[in-house]
Amino acid sequence: MTTLALASAKGAPGVTTSALLLAALWPRPACLVEADPRGGDLRYWQTDPDGQPLRPDAGVVSLLAERRTPASVQDRGSGTDPGGGLLAHTQRIAGSLPVLVGVSTPRQHQALAPMWPELSAGFATLTMRGPDVAPSPRQDDSVQATDLMVDVGGLTGDPATLALLHSTSMVLLVCLPTVSSLAHTRDALVELRASARWGSQQLGVIVIGSGADRDAVRDVLTADLLAGLAVGPARGALFMGQLAADPAAARALAGSWTRRLDRSPLVASGRRLARELDAHLQHLPAVTAADFGPAGGPGGVDVDALVGPSR
């Protein structure tokens, strides 16, 4: 079971687009989770397979509302949904991708803040489970892994968000190939490594740009901080990935499209990134309860259906 968190150190370089694309193109069944404390975008970007708006009351809000008891998410989990019912609160968007819709506003996030550890506990439970435990939301009568792509938006220092990051398998920072974005990303990597359980292998960067941009960012990070992040050879290397800067395709995922999405440079780079990231994850050390401390595509998604029929 894999739980990947995507975030940005500052600004909006395309975290939601990256998370949505990875979930749709992932080599195993996956679910997209909106956990941005400033409010999610999926309800404004996507519809259900029948073209109807996504329900704002089904998702993170309904999950946490159901958990307003002393019992934890782990205690309420079952053999078919060990995340304590997390998967039962998902909705499908066009293309058959299951999503857990997030809060609508920062105020709603603040109101649910006392319950946020329940979501972190659910992620930790799913992350520690083996690949034969949790069912796919697309195949309710089977028992197989459902990996989670978690969109946490921008890093704001919010304690609930940091706890959520601690409960995931890996954190990926999305950045642009600019001086300011790179500087903020570098600082965030240092802070994450200093304050959390991750080795360098559990941290990564996705550059929105060309392959040359990714290589340039890698060179800067290697020179500035990779030696400080890596503690001995067992720590491995910081993951570096790339998604094409393709504004037209990015707009398509936000609901405005005029041609086939699967022919776009963004989707081509997304497929490559999903393969590279999955291969990297195969070499990560096993996650156990001790790691969390007290806080605790091919999968059947029709990429073109995410944006509706071609016009």
Structural domains of the chain, with CATH: 3-307 (3.40.50.300)
pLDDT at 307 over 80: no
What's the pLDDT score for residue 12? 77
What's the pLDDT score for residue 65? 82
Please tell me the total number of residues recorded for the chain in this structure: 311
- CB 2, CB 127: distance < 8 Å: yes
Selected residue with higher pLDDT from 234 and 10: 10
Instruction: Find the mean pLDDT for residues 139-166.
Output: 77
What's the pLDDT score for residue 285? 66
What's the pLDDT score for residue 290? 52
Half-sphere exposure of 271 (CA within 13 A, CB side): 12
Other CB atoms within 10 Å distance of the CB of residue 107: 10
User: Which pLDDT band holds residue 146 (cuts at 50, 70, 90)?
Assistant: confident
Helices (H), the chain: 15-25, 42-45, 60-66, 73-76, 106-112, 116-128, 159-166, 179-195, 211-221, 227-229, 247-253, 265-281, 289-292
DSSP 44: H
What's the pLDDT score for residue 110? 87
3-class DSSP assignment, residue 182: helix
pLDDT at 184 over 80: yes
pLDDT at 139 over 50: no
What's the pLDDT score for residue 265? 95
